[in-house]
Structure 1
C-alpha cells in the first residue's frame, strides 16, 4: 500500500490488511506502518507492559533499546501515562505541552508521541504508540488520536485471536493425549475382561450364565462408549481433504460393521450417486445412525436409506425419538444430544464438520434423518488449489 493511500484513507488500508492472508506478525507490522505513515512519524511500537516493564513486541525500529525484543523500565516511557489512565495520549511537541518536564522526554528523546492502550480479553496488554525525535509542525488532532485508538483495538483483536488459536491448539494436543490414553490404557484391560468372560461362559450354566451374559453386555456397552469417545475426539473438527465417495457402497460397508440383529436394510440410492466427503467419517455417520436405529427401534426394525446428488436420508419404522432429542439434534445442542447417547453426537459432529445441513422428522411411526447440501460447495482446499 502506498503512503498516499494511507494518508488519504487509513481505514481502507486497515480493511485491506484485515482481509489479507498474512500471518499475525506480518499483520502487526503492516498495521504499525499504517499508523506511522498516516501520522507522518518515524517510529511505531507495540509493547507489552505487564510486571512494570516495557517490552517491545513489534516495531519498525531496527536497533537500540526500543528494537524488537528490547526491555526497558516502564517508568521512563511516555506509555506509562497511557497505562496509568487507560486513555490515549498525544502531542506534537512535548516541550510545548504539560509534559515539558516529564522524565520520558530525557530518557527517550522523543518529542512527538501518540499512544493508546491495547486490551486482550478485557485486560490491558500493553500499548500501541507512534513517535518521533523531532517535533511535528501540525498539532495532533482528535481524529488522529481516534485512529490510533482504532488501530490499538484492531491490534488487540489480532493478539486475542492468536491467543485463542494457541489455546485451541493446546486443548487439541491434550485431547489427542487423552484419546491415546483411552485407546490404550482402557481398551487393553477391557479386551481382557471380555475375553475371560467369554471363556467363563463356556463352563457355566443356569443363573451364573445369566449373570455373565449381563456382564458381557455391560462390557460391550463400555467398548462402544470408548469407541464413540474416540470418534468425538478425532472426528469432531472441520473436515479438510475430501474425495468423491460412492454413497451406496459406504452405506453397505457401514451396515456390515454394526450388530444389526434381525434388522433389515433397504438401499434406494440413485445409481452412481457420490458424496464429496471424508470417507471414513461418512461411514462413521452411517454406523452410528444404524446403531441408533437398532438400539432404540428394536431388534426387528426396518431401516431405509435413500439418496441422490443433493443428499441422503436414513429412516426407520421404530417408535420415534423423544421431542427434546429431535430438537437438540437440529439445534446442535450438544448437552441434550449426549443425554441420548454419544453416537448421535458423533453424527451431529460429522455433519457440522462437513458443513452439511441436518433435519430430523420423528413420530410414533418412525424417525427420518435427512442430510442435505452435501455437494453444495467446493471444499476450501480445492478452492485454494484452483486460485
Structure 2
C-alpha cells in the first residue's frame, strides 16, 4: 500500500521525541521481545509517564486504521464502532488513521500506550497482527490487544491478545441470493484484495447463496493483491462489465470505486463493510455491513467490570453473526424485486435462528473435488472454516 509516511509523524511521536530528549529516568521495568537499542530504551523510559490526560475513573481505548476513517468501507465501519463506544460513560477513545502494515503500526501503538495511557488496543487491519501485534503484546504484557480476525492459538499466542470477528459471510450469502434474483446474465463479479480465509469465505458464501437460487450462476473473482488499490479496482470492475457481468461486489478496504463504477456502467452492485447506497442510488441492491458498535460495547462492558484476557475473564476468540448482532444487511435498494426480498429475508431469518448452515455438503471446489461430503456440515464456529483455502464450484478464478 502506498502511504505518505509524513502523515504518521503524529503529535504522539513528536511528544515521544521531546520526552526522550528530556528523559525522566530509566525505569526498572523489563520487557520481552524488545531489542536493546536507543529507541527501545526511550520507550521504557517513558512507560512510567502513563496517561496525563485520562482521569482515574475512565478507561482509554485505542484504535488504529490502515486507511482513512471516511473510506465508505472497512476503516469507516470500525471508526463508526469507535464513535459508538466514545459516547459511553467512562470511556476515552484515541485513534490514528492511515497507519500502514509496517513497523509504523508498532510506533503508533507504543505512542498510544505511553502517551495516552491506553490499556486496550484495537489494531484493526489484518496485516497488523503478525508480527506487529505479537511483538507489542510481548513488550507490554499488561496491555490487552484485540485484533480483528487474528488467529489465536492456545499456548502459542500471548495471553494478552484476543481475536474477534463476525460471520459476515452470512450477510454475503443473503446478498448473493438477491444478486442472483436481479442478474439477467447469470454472471456475478467479485473483486477481492487477498486470498486469505476471511476473503475466500465471503466469496464462497456469496456464490453459494446465489447458486441456491440459480444453480448455474457463476462468480468471476479477481484478486487485486492489496487492500486499497483504486486503479486496479476500477480496471477490474470495468473489465467485468465488459465481459457481461451485471452484478458486482467486493472485499476490499473501500468499495467506493467499485460501487461507483458499477453505477456509472449501469449495472447492479452489492456493498461491503458499510452502507454504500448513497454512492449508487439506482443500482445498489443491498450489502453486508458490520455492526462494530455492538462488538466494542460488549468489550467495554467486560473491561469496565475488571475482566481481562490474561485471567480468562475475556474470551480469547470472540465470533458472532446475525444472531449476536455482529453484522447487518443494508436496506434493499429500489431495484430489488419482491421475490428477491422474500428469499433474502427467509435466508436471513434461518441464519439468525441457526436453522440453516451455509457449509453443508455436498460441496465441491471449483476444480471438481469434493470438499465437504454429503451429510457433513461445518457450522460457523467450526475451526476448519477459519483455514479456508479453496473456492467453491461456480467461482471462476484461482487463488494463486
> Normalising by structure 2, what TM-score?
0.22
Name which one, 1 or 2, has greater alpha-carbon Rg.
1
> Normalising by structure 1, what TM-score?
0.23
